[in-house]
Copies of this chain bind each other. A is one copy, B any other.
């Protein structure tokens, strides 16, 4: 069936230019959501949640899904409810469910053997690995960053990127000298100078992952951090803007300046405690509430890192891979030079980071682990990148984004008691409810209407559709949202 669909699809190359209201990029999508059960999760999901609860903590599970039936932007659950998915598995599904291009690649015998025989990529990679890195990962690299290291997930991508910043910082400190015997002996016992007192500067509201290093730079929600020891590293304020942006230009500019001054103060303060080897920042703080900062903020932040000899890491785990209308969100910022490191995961299917030549670690086995990523995931990404290019998905994201944005702006004007502060880029959009309970009610009611969205931060609702989200999907979403808002008390 998968192959049949793929063939069908290839016979319709003009689908985008000659688009009827329901001509979906992924064939076979239903016309809209449909809800069969009186409550969600439905009875079959509830039973499975109980079953899972006997094996592991299942309190976060919303429902169980049928991924054989799910297609394109539509997710089907085990109770046969059909949802328009505007959350995409925490922003990690790039071209929808069962994309024919991806399924086709998975039937290829060489690709199947690549999945069956996952090698230790740092020791014995497969013959086509350099070519795949070039033809897939480097084909969509951020401008100016030609080197790439692959990992497994977002947390370990950031962890290893931090290590690269520490190593680069110490390389500069050491001025070309080799490691001393004291370095080598002391690091084995977790002591300086070999394990130096250095830090990564992060921002309030940031999310960079959940393993112990990156968790020390995550400050989005207490539940992520409670009871886990953390490094004493500097934490600066992230701009908190007033909306609409064009009415509060001066105030928001002052907010930028205040936060940048705090960054510089912290760098100076920590130079005596644990010098700042690098700054980590999201182009849009995602888990923390879809908090945005201006291009000027990022430009000036980069200048500060250069002035103080810190490295700059842009964490594009959630923002990367096209959903802001550019492949990488920081491309919107017109930085004078590329950031030192850009991390990715989620929609990219495997984790990793692009980095500049200067960041290259000179010795082997320093940034290393058994698998160093997964060639099987690069096969899926290959299908994703092909679809992005062939179907001009970045343009589609911009076009659909405009429809969503203006629809949300209208709803915010019509229902100011329910939603406000519409913001974002491309289809990576968000708005606020007046309070957390109100927000949760909107998300819940949307689910009952057959639309999956999600909260972030205190009061925000975030949109994370796949890149194949088209105008007619946006119309359905906006119609359902208006229905929910109009019925809210």
Residue A274 is within 8 A (CB to CB) of chain B in the complex: yes
| Chain A positions 354 through 379: 1 when the CB is less than 8 Å from some CB of chain B, otherwise 0 | 00000011111111111100001000
Residue A12 is within 8 A (CB to CB) of chain B in the complex: no
Overall SS of chain A's interface: loop
Residue A478 is within 8 A (CB to CB) of chain B in the complex: no
B89:A120 contact, CB within 8 angstroms: yes
Partner of A274, one of B65, B120, B229: B229
B92:A118 contact, CB within 8 angstroms: yes
Tell me which of A162-170, A333-341, A387-395, A425-433 binds B. A162-170
Residue A480 is within 8 A (CB to CB) of chain B in the complex: no
Copies of this subunit: 2
Residue A93 is within 8 A (CB to CB) of chain B in the complex: yes
B198:A363 contact, CB within 8 angstroms: no
Residue A246 is within 8 A (CB to CB) of chain B in the complex: no
Report B-chain residues with C-beta under 8 Å of the C-beta of A117: 67, 70, 93, 97-98
Residue A313 is within 8 A (CB to CB) of chain B in the complex: no
Partner of A153, one of B51, B221, B371: B371
A119:B89 contact, CB within 8 angstroms: yes
B65:A365 contact, CB within 8 angstroms: no
Can you name the residue of chain B whose Cβ is closest to the Cβ of A110? B68
* A471-B55 Cα distance, complex, nearest whole Å: 39
Interface positions of A from 106 to 148, Cβ below 8 Å from B:
106-107, 109-110, 112-120, 122-127, 129-130, 133-134, 138, 146-148
How many chain A residues sit at the interface, stated as a range, is 35 or more
Report B-chain residues with C-beta under 8 Å of the C-beta of A232: 190-191
Tell me which of A28-36, A179-187, A262-270 binds B. A179-187
A89:B369 contact, CB within 8 angstroms: no
Residue A261 is within 8 A (CB to CB) of chain B in the complex: no
Distance in Å: Cβ of A256 to nearest Cβ of chain B: 22
* A115-B113 Cα distance, complex, nearest whole Å: 14
Residue A231 is within 8 A (CB to CB) of chain B in the complex: yes
Distance in Å: Cβ of A295 to nearest Cβ of chain B: 28
B103:A116 contact, CB within 8 angstroms: yes
B56:A147 contact, CB within 8 angstroms: yes
Residue A62 is within 8 A (CB to CB) of chain B in the complex: yes
B92:A190 contact, CB within 8 angstroms: no
Can you name the residue of chain B whose Cβ is closest to the Cβ of A168? B227
Residue A304 is within 8 A (CB to CB) of chain B in the complex: no
Distance in Å: Cβ of A83 to nearest Cβ of chain B: 10
* A288-B15 Cα distance, complex, nearest whole Å: 58
A196:B125 contact, CB within 8 angstroms: no
Residue A216 is within 8 A (CB to CB) of chain B in the complex: yes
A130:B222 contact, CB within 8 angstroms: no
Listed by A's residue number, 29 A-B pairs whose Cβ atoms lie within 8 Å are: A52-B125, A55-B134, A55-B138, A56-B360, A57-B364, A59-B365, A64-B124, A64-B125, A66-B127, A67-B113, A68-B109, A68-B110, A89-B118, A89-B119, A98-B113, A99-B116, A115-B380, A156-B156, A160-B210, A163-B210, A171-B227, A184-B226, A187-B225, A190-B233, A191-B230, A195-B229, A210-B368, A345-B370, A376-B376
Q: A92-B118, A167-B227 are in contact. List 4 more A-B contacts (CB 8 A).
A: A62-B124, A98-B117, A153-B153, A196-B227
